[in-house]
């Protein structure tokens, strides 16, 4: 059947019907998602049918959510979960900060009813947010409890043998083996860490990444601090794009459980992009603007905006105050990513 002739005939023949449907949907999409994000089309029922279903925006089947308890981690807890490790004093008074990190194989429910055979740091995606202060001595005791070889590769400034790549220092850490990464905390800013074993894209995309924050010696102004890791899941393992996109582990999570913030309070977001298989990711905030500090290595913001783009491994700090109460959406401005899971809500209370 010749689709070209059909398409052109339909285009001319079906103009009236097409026009009517488009007009109906346009009217309904504009801001529906902001008011009715949780229960979506269930709230819609019969009236939704008049202009077509699904107009409140994308969602999982029946508004379902994943079982955070079974997964062993909850994105809402990850938001404000900064792992400061444990500290001791070195001779000379310098602080030694130490963490225990382990790798494991872990089935994660990445969408309701969909299991992803993940490789994780400390059993969660993203891995723990390691946080320290500029100038400290850092020690990471890494144990590989996975069935696959792994490393921890940190961004930042450190000696070659602490780089966590094959052929350097301890090199690749085989299953059951342990190693210690030790280096100084520099430079201050927002960094990341991830496994660096080939095939590299798969080792990262399976879930082996996390945020690494070095606070400036003088600290930053007091704020409600949040960490957000942008990433995705290539559930088909074909290395071509992702079937699911998320922030902090679970797609659409903050649609169902909006991020709670206070009106007028300074909110600081540590935003990183650990996405694989797509060239770029972005963050867009509704109803507000923010100051953006690329890589967090300067205390002066570079721009005042509502949208930033980040390539893989790029990161930056966002600072904002919400002047209005209510719910405000945030999502990838690459709409495809948003509709495949990378969207959420801030709920601003007075």
Partner 1 sequence: MPAPTATRPVVPTWVLAAILVAVMAVVLAGLALVGGDALPERQGPPVEQLAVERTVLEPGTIELRLRNTGPDAVSVAQIFVNDAYADFAGPGDEIGRLASASLKIDYPWQDGSPYLVSMLTSTGAVIEHQIAAAVETPAPDAGLFGLMALLGTYVGIIPVLLGMLLLPVLRRASRPWMTGLMAFTVGLLAFLAVDGTIEGLDIAGASSQAFGGVELLFLGAGLAFLALTAVDRMVSARRAGAGAAGRSGYAAALMVAIGIGLHNLGEGLAIGSAYAIGELALGAFLVVGFAAHNTTEGLAIAAPLSGGPGRPPLARLLGLGVIAGAPAILGGILGATVDNAELTTFLLGVGVGAIVQVVVQLASTMRDGSGRILNPVSVGGLCAGMIALYATSLLVAA
By the rule CB under 8 A, 13 interacts with partner 1: yes
In the complex with partner 1, the residue whose CB is nearer, 9 or 299, is: 9
* Strand partners of residue 104: 120
Least distance from partner 1 to the Cβ atom of residue 261, Å: 26
Helix axes 3-13, 15-35, angle to 10 degrees: 80
In the complex with partner 1, the residue whose CB is nearer, 38 or 294, is: 38
By the rule CB under 8 A, 32 interacts with partner 1: no
Residues with Cβ within 8 Å of 141's Cβ and at least 6 positions away in sequence, in order, are 98, 99, 100, 101, 178, 180
d(CA 65, CA 76): 13
d(CA 310, CA 324): 27
Q: Which residues, numbered 109-148, are part of the site for partner 1 (CB under 8 A)?
A: 110-116
d(CA 192, CA 209): 7
In the complex with partner 1, the residue whose CB is nearer, 222 or 238, is: 238
* Strand partners of residue 99: 140
Among 23, 31, 54, 324, binds partner 1 (CB under 8 A): 54
By the rule CB under 8 A, 160 interacts with partner 1: no
Among 37, 51, 133, 206, binds partner 1 (CB under 8 A): 51
In the complex with partner 1, the residue whose CB is nearer, 229 or 343, is: 343
How many CB atoms are located within 10 Å of the residue 336 CB?
12
What's the token pair of residue 339? 């509709």
Determine if residue 208 is labeled as part of a ligand binding site: yes
By the rule CB under 8 A, 349 interacts with partner 1: no
Determine if residue 51 is labeled as part of a ligand binding site: no
Determine if residue 324 is labeled as part of a ligand binding site: no
- Residue of 187, 227, 198 lying closest to 210 (CA atoms): 227
Residue numbers at the binding site for partner 1 (CB under 8 A): 1-3, 5-7, 9-11, 13-14, 17-18, 21-22, 25, 40-41, 48-49, 51-55, 58-63, 110-116, 233, 235-237, 243, 251-252, 336, 339-341
């Amino acid at each position: 059947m010749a689709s070209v002739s059909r398409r052109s005939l339909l285009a001319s023949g079906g103009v009236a019907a097409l026009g009517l449907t488009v007009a109906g949907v346009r009217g309904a999409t504009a801001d529906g998602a902001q008011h009715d994000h949780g229960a979506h089309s269930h709230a819609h029922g019969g009236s939704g049918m008049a202009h077509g279903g699904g107009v409140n925006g994308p969602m999982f089947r029946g508004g379902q959510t994943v079982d955070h308890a079974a997964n062993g981690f909850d994105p809402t807890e990850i938001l404000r979960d900064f792992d400061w490790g444990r500290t001791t004093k070195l001779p000379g008074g310098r602080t030694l900060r130490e963490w225990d990190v382990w790798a494991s194989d872990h089935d994660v429910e990445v969408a309701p009813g969909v299991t992803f055979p993940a490789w994780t740091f400390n059993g969660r995606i993203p891995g723990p947010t390691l946080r320290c202060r500029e100038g400290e001595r850092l020690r990471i005791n890494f144990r590989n409890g996975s069935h696959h070889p792994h490393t921890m590769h940190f961004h930042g400034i450190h000696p070659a043998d602490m780089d966590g790549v094959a052929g350097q220092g301890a090199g690749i850490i085989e299953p059951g083996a342990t190693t210690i990464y030790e280096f100084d905390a520099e430079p201050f800013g927002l960094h990341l860490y991830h496994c660096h074993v080939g095939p590299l894209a798969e080792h990262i995309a399976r879930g082996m990444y996390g945020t690494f924050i070095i606070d400036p010696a003088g600290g930053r102004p007091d704020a409600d601090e949040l960490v957000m890791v942008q990433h995705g899941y290539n559930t088909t393992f074909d290395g071509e794009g992702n079937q699911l996109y998320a922030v902090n582990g679970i797609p659409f999570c903050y649609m169902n459980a909006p991020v709670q913030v206070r009106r007028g309070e300074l909110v600081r977001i540590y935003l990183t992009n650990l996405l694989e298989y797509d060239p770029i990711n972005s963050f867009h905030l509704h109803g507000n603007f923010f100051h953006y500090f690329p890589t967090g290595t300067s205390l002066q913001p570079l721009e005042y905006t509502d949208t930033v783009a980040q390539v893989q491994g790029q990161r930056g700090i966002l600072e904002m105050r919400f002047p209005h109460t209510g719910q405000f959406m945030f999502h990838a401005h690459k709409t495809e990513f948003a509709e495949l899971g990378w969207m959420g809500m801030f709920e601003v209370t007075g």
